[in-house]
Amino acid sequence: MTAPPRPGPGLRVRLPQVAPSVREFLATEAGGAVLLLLAAVAALTWANSPWSGSYDRFWSTTAELRLGDAGFDMTLHHWVNDGAMAIFFAVVGLEISREFTTGELRDRRTIAVPALGAIGGLTLPAVIYFALNRSGPESSGWGIPMSTDTAFVIGILALFGPRCPDRLRLFLLTLAIVDDIGAITVVGIFYTDHVNLAGLAVAGATVLAILALRWLRVWQLPPYILASLVLWGAIHVSGVHATLAGVLVGLLVPAIPPRPDQVEEVPIYVRALQEDSNATRVGLAVAAAKATVPANDRLQRVLHPISAFVVVPVFGLANAGVHLDGSALRTAAASSVTLGVAAALIAGNACGISVAGVMAIRTGLGQLPGRVRYGHLLGAATLAGIGFTISLFITELAFTDEALQEQAKIGILAGSLVAALAGTVILRVLGERMPLCSPMTDEPVPRLPPRPWRAPVPAK
């Protein structure tokens, strides 16, 4: 039996590392991170320019949405934080639902390390912050350093991380999903001021209506979108933060794969269209094709670019405008809020995620994916200290005092910057010593030198 031929130069033997849907999600997050960074820099520049007063006046502008006697009246700042950010949280919920239904989160051993790491990354930062701010209004900011900014982490990993980081990206994405679940739970339970029972009743009825749509196997998106708008309005009126509506919609929109008969029907409609091309048959063929894709995937394909390229950058522009004059920096340097947020983001995430992840590995509950090693785990845990979007979001909920808000935001910016630099250095150094590529994934298979036709003649 002859041996199989060796791969030629530059030939890559590739095995699928992540699903195409996950790869597309990661690519969108990485692209959105660039716009988010530009928006944050623009906000800081605007807020510290000679026209800084216009920054506050612009986001304090009131905008109304009214139908008859009913309507909503909020500032542009609140429209971004309470309205547009519901789209961001809907995308998070859609990704959580898809991963638990058909993705990587179905395997217990795959999710054990990042899931337990995320719990450590939620708990230790809150403990560190609370240890430095045990009383007074400052103590309510313990939820600020708990969350990881998925867009920034994935974006930095794509730009500056090691070669072939697909498995590391998937590890961080899983960690971020569990982390987002915890952060959303914290927002819904601990940062709600008052509750309107009538609004909650309407919200509950709307959730039941969405569940009924799932049970009836409704695959069209308009009914879910209409129910989502009603749910957002009801939750906003109830006093619970309206972004919870986005999470609920994302979790409830069906992610179950289609039945085999739905897929088998598509060629029938296509053949009918080939026989007689008319508007009715075109509509039927398109509908049959759409029915083969879960509503979750189709809604995420619509909302995710809007979230990554519009909502999150606008949110950064509306919330990252911190005054950084000498007085503000001196106050922040002595502030327990600033120090607590920065220390919790850097040390809390690096230690909490690493220790919890190692415990999961040593106890046999899970294992690191692919060629990811302990050093990569430490680098990823350090990088997870980038808390920007949800950290700024919780800052607005935790503090009503603008001075405390600015101190917390300076802590977020400082802690996230240090975490980004330290995590990047760790992963780049380890990328050279412990590559994530292998001949069975993305690295070119080395070519052996050609065998000579004749054995060399030994020298006399």
In tens, the pLDDT along 115-136 reads 888 899 999 999 999 999 988 8
What letters, b where the CB count within 10 A reaches 16 and e where it falls short, cover 43-68? bbebbbeeeeeebeebbeeeeeeeee
217-254 pLDDT, tens digit per residue, is 888 889 999 999 999 988 888 877 777 888 889 889 98
- Sign for the CA dihedral angle at 247, 253, 258, 259 comes to positive
137: left (phi over 0), alpha (psi -120 to 50) or beta: alpha
- Whether the CB-CB separation of 228 and 245 falls below 8 Å is answered with yes
| CATH 1.20.1530.10 residue window(s) in the chain | 20-63+70-192+241-257+294-433
Q: How far apart are CA 381 and CA 386, in angstroms?
A: 10
369-415 pLDDT, tens digit per residue, is 666 777 888 888 898 898 888 888 889 888 988 889 999 999 999 99
pLDDT for 277: 79
- Whether the CB-CB separation of 433 and 425 falls below 8 Å is answered with no
Question: How many other CB atoms sit within 10 Å of the CB of residue 347?
Answer: 18
Residues ≥6 apart with Cβ < 8 Å to 273 = 281, 282, 284, 285
DSSP character for 448? P
CA torsion 253-256-258-260 (nearest 10°) is -160
Confidence tier at 3 by pLDDT (50, 70, 90): very low
- Does residue 210 surpass a pLDDT of 90? yes
| Mean pLDDT on 321-339 | 87
pLDDT for 182: 83
Residues ≥6 apart with Cβ < 8 Å to 101 = 255, 256, 296
Which run of H or of E encompasses 329?
Answer: helix 326-333
pTM reported for the whole predicted model: 0.74
**Ordered DSSP codes for 338-401:** HHHHHHIIIIIHHHHHHHHHHHHHHTTS----TT--HHHHHHHHHHTT---HHHHHHHHHH---
Mean pLDDT of the chain: 80
| Mean pLDDT on 193-199 | 78
401-455 pLDDT, tens digit per residue, is 888 999 999 999 999 999 989 988 888 787 666 666 654 444 443 333 444 444 4
pLDDT for 323: 82
pLDDT for 453: 41
Structure tokens at 331: 């106050």
Structure tokens at 166: 């697909």
CATH number given to 20-63+70-192+241-257+294-433: 1.20.1530.10
CA Rg, the chain, in Å?
25
pLDDT for 438: 52
